Amino acid sequence: MPMNTQGRPTRMADNIATGGYAETTSGSKGLEQAEPLIYERGSAVQTGVDLPEPKGTPSRLGGLARQSELGLPGLSEPETMRHYVRLSRKNYAIDLGLYPLGSCTMKHNPRLNEKMARLPGFADVHPMQPASTVQGAYQVIGELAHWLMTLTGMPGVAMSPKAGAHGEFCGMMAIRAKLDADGQTHRRRVLVPESAHGTNPATAVQCGFTCDEIPADETGRVDMEAFKAKLGDDVAGIMLTNPNTCGLFERDIREIADLIHEAGGYFYCDGANFNAIVGRVRPGDLGVDAMHINLHKTFSTPHGGGGPGSGPTVLSEALAPHAPVPYVVQNGNDWELVEHEADAAGEPFGRMAAFHGQMGMFTRALTYMMSHGSDGLKQVAEDAVLNANYIQARLKHVMTPAFDGVCMHEALFDDRFLEGTGVTTLDFAKAMIDEGYHPMTMYFPLVVHGAMLIEPTETESKSGLDRFINVLEALSLAAKAGETDRFQAAPIHAPTKRLDETRAARQPVLRWHPSESNEMEAAE
């Protein structure tokens, strides 16, 4: 047994082997604190706020005062602080390390953005204040719209979509409205590559279209022969991600655009991967009719553990008149808001949500764009693509790139290098957790077996990439050397061992129930 300089066992494993101390009495492990649910900690009489005493005026609730109990536990302020700080420490985050989730663009989130979003003139204004009191807020929307249209080379933009999928909905609704306005009511089929994000087919169906899948060719791009064969006068358009979800630029994009236009359809581009080309390529030059931009990817608004996002959608000349309300217009020195369809210059397809869009994300994204400028944004795309290619080049001798040639901002590997090892893509990903990394996107895109999609982004340093590459190389060699246990047991150094997702789905427990805490206490 290895001993340390003090003559004690070095490894936890040795302790376990000797009947050990892997479990602690408290359930905590050093800095990693066990933390129950607020329902098991708090009580209905505890509170972390001091409010003035009510005056006792008679209520005017029309006999509708609440009779049912709320059952909401409260915690004092120090307990609340500790509860959520402890929970936060069970999360991986971009501020902790490289977060190579392909398609998600986990880049550094500058704190200047946070500071600007909290200026009282942005954070503490109401969307329905009189126009004279929110000119600066309208201006932010207008300025951001200008940046987005200029960067994409598109003449219009709808600012109100609340996330990427909402932006897709916006673009496809505009296409549907345009087709209907032109009497093209027979066009109901949308072509979607099989490598597409799931949001694409889901969105098309929400707009009353049917989906027709286009296969990928052997280079990971749209199979042009299959695409051409699917064109017809019932085609409404194509939804194409570019760079695509394999991390590759669709070389035939201009021809695809021309063919879909000749066939009478429109070209929706999923802009999730705009980070690869921002400042270097304008989608408008490629024949795109509509494209959403994930401000929470390319323009660095934080992901927040699942949102909020923001999905402004740029539109071509043909589609722009169908953009939803509301939108801002500049009239001399004044900014105005057009809120109602009847007041719109074009024929809006409707309203997507209450109020005017994700202002808190607009201020962050505009701050980020102004910081980078046109020169910095071009460098963003170049460094993002450089980093992905560096990873692909450095790992291709041990892992198997799914396709030949250079990639864009993400490197896609398949699981051929794990063949015969007994290690799956999932096991490999979980082993990365033990090494201190968030895994890459797994099993997506669907066109590649056991896919591992690595997007490092431009904010990783070369030395940071080298460390990451060394770890993946070592893991690949370990898998090939037959160290299967290490992968199948992983993660062992995370706050939890591997979680049983099948059980969660088969016996759904979607909320805390009072009875459960009693059981928990009994179990303790």
Partner 1 sequence: MRYLPHTETDRKDMLDAIGVASIDDLFVDVPEVGRLDGLIDLPKKQGELQVERAMSAMSSKNVSASSVPFFVGAGAYKHHIPSTVDHLIQRSEFLTAYTPYQPEISQGTLQTLFEFQTQVAQLTGMDVANASMYDGSTACAEAVMMAARVTRRMKAVMAGNVHPHYVEASKTLAKYSDVEIEVTEPRLGGLETLINAIDDETACVVVQTPDVFGQLHDLRAISEAAHAKGALVIAAFTEVVSLGLIEAPGAMGADIAVGEGQSIGVGLNFGGPYVGLFACKDDRRFIRQMPGRLAGETVDADGRRGFVLTLSTREQHIRRDKATSNICTNAGLCALAFTIHMTLLGEKGLKQMAVINHETACSLADALDAIDGVEVLNDAFFNEFAVRLPKNANEVVDALAKVGVLAGVPASRLFPSQFEDVLLVAATEINTDEDIAIFDKALRSVL
Rounded Cα distance, 327 and 314, in Å: 13
Site mask for partner 1 (CB under 8 A), range 424-453, x = bound: -----xx--x----xx-x--x---------
Closest contact distance (angstroms) between CB of 411 and partner 1 is 11
Closer to partner 1 at the Cβ: 111 or 481?
Answer: 111
Rounded Cα distance, 134 and 140, in Å: 10
Among 26, 496, 515, 524, binds partner 1 (CB under 8 A): 496
Contact by Cβ (8 Å): 451, 443:
yes
Phi, psi for 235 (deg, rounded to 5): -85, 125
Among 191, 214, 323, 366, binds partner 1 (CB under 8 A): 366
Closer to partner 1 at the Cβ: 1 or 397?
Answer: 397
Nearest to 360 by CA among 178, 59, 121: 121
Closest contact distance (angstroms) between CB of 140 and partner 1 is 6
Rounded Cα distance, 315 and 291, in Å: 7
Site mask for partner 1 (CB under 8 A), range 128-167, x = bound: xxx-xxxxxx-xx--x---x--xx----------xxxxx-
Among 290, 359, 418, 452, binds partner 1 (CB under 8 A): 359
Q: Which residues of 442-459 are buried (b: 16+ CB within 10 A; e: fewer)?
A: bbbbebbebbbbbbbbbb
3-state secondary structure of 79: helix
- Quick one: CA dihedral 329, 335, 339, 345, positive or negative? negative
Instruction: Give the DSSP per-residue string, 201-218.
Output: HHHHHHTT-EEEEE-B-T
Site mask for partner 1 (CB under 8 A), range 390-409, x = bound: x--xx----------xx-x-
| Eight-state DSSP code of residue 325 | B
Query: Which range in 114-122, 312-320, 410-418, 448-456 contacts partner 1 by CB under 8 A?
Result: 114-122
Closer to partner 1 at the Cβ: 4 or 65?
Answer: 65
Judged by CB under 8 A, how many residues of this single chain contact partner 1?
A: 208
Query: Which range in 13-21, 169-177, 410-418, 472-480 contacts partner 1 by CB under 8 A?
Result: 169-177
For residue 80, what are its two tokens? Answer: 């609340």
- Beta strands 313-315 and 266-270 are unpaired
Among 64, 262, 331, 420, binds partner 1 (CB under 8 A): 64
Contact by Cβ (8 Å): 150, 230:
no
Query: Which range in 11-19, 413-421, 478-486, 495-503 contacts partner 1 by CB under 8 A?
Result: 495-503
Rounded Cα distance, 29 and 26, in Å: 8
Closer to partner 1 at the Cβ: 13 or 37?
Answer: 37
Among 240, 296, 314, 399, binds partner 1 (CB under 8 A): 296
Using rule CB under 8 A, residue 66 touches partner 1: yes
Query: Which range in 13-21, 64-72, 227-235, 315-323 contacts partner 1 by CB under 8 A?
Result: 64-72
Using rule CB under 8 A, residue 54 touches partner 1: yes
Contact by Cβ (8 Å): 417, 397:
no
Closer to partner 1 at the Cβ: 282 or 480?
Answer: 282
Site mask for partner 1 (CB under 8 A), range 328-347, x = bound: -----------xx-xx----
Closer to partner 1 at the Cβ: 248 or 260?
Answer: 248
Contact by Cβ (8 Å): 382, 449:
no
Closer to partner 1 at the Cβ: 416 or 503?
Answer: 503
Residues 212-251 that bind partner 1 (CB under 8 A): 248-251
Query: Which range in 9-17, 42-50, 223-231, 263-271 contacts partner 1 by CB under 8 A?
Result: 42-50
Which helix (H) or strand (E) is 392 found in, with range? Answer: helix 359-395
| Eight-state DSSP code of residue 461 | -
Q: Tell me, what amino acid is at 486?
A: R
Closer to partner 1 at the Cβ: 299 or 417?
Answer: 299
Closer to partner 1 at the Cβ: 8 or 50?
Answer: 50
Closest contact distance (angstroms) between CB of 197 and partner 1 is 8
Say what angle helices 462-480 and 359-395 make with each other, to 10 degrees: 50
Which helix (H) or strand (E) is 190 found in, with range? Answer: strand 189-193
Using rule CB under 8 A, residue 8 touches partner 1: no
Phi, psi for 460 (deg, rounded to 5): -95, 140
Among 13, 338, 370, 478, binds partner 1 (CB under 8 A): 370
Length of the chain: 524
Rounded Cα distance, 451 and 136, in Å: 46
3-state secondary structure of 313: strand
Using rule CB under 8 A, residue 503 touches partner 1: yes
Closest contact distance (angstroms) between CB of 408 and partner 1 is 8
For residue 483, what are its two tokens? Answer: 């160290």
Rounded Cα distance, 211 and 238, in Å: 9
Residues 12-31 that bind partner 1 (CB under 8 A): none
For residue 324, what are its two tokens? Answer: 């939803």
Closest contact distance (angstroms) between CB of 371 and partner 1 is 5
Among 89, 228, 397, 449, binds partner 1 (CB under 8 A): 89
Using rule CB under 8 A, residue 94 touches partner 1: yes
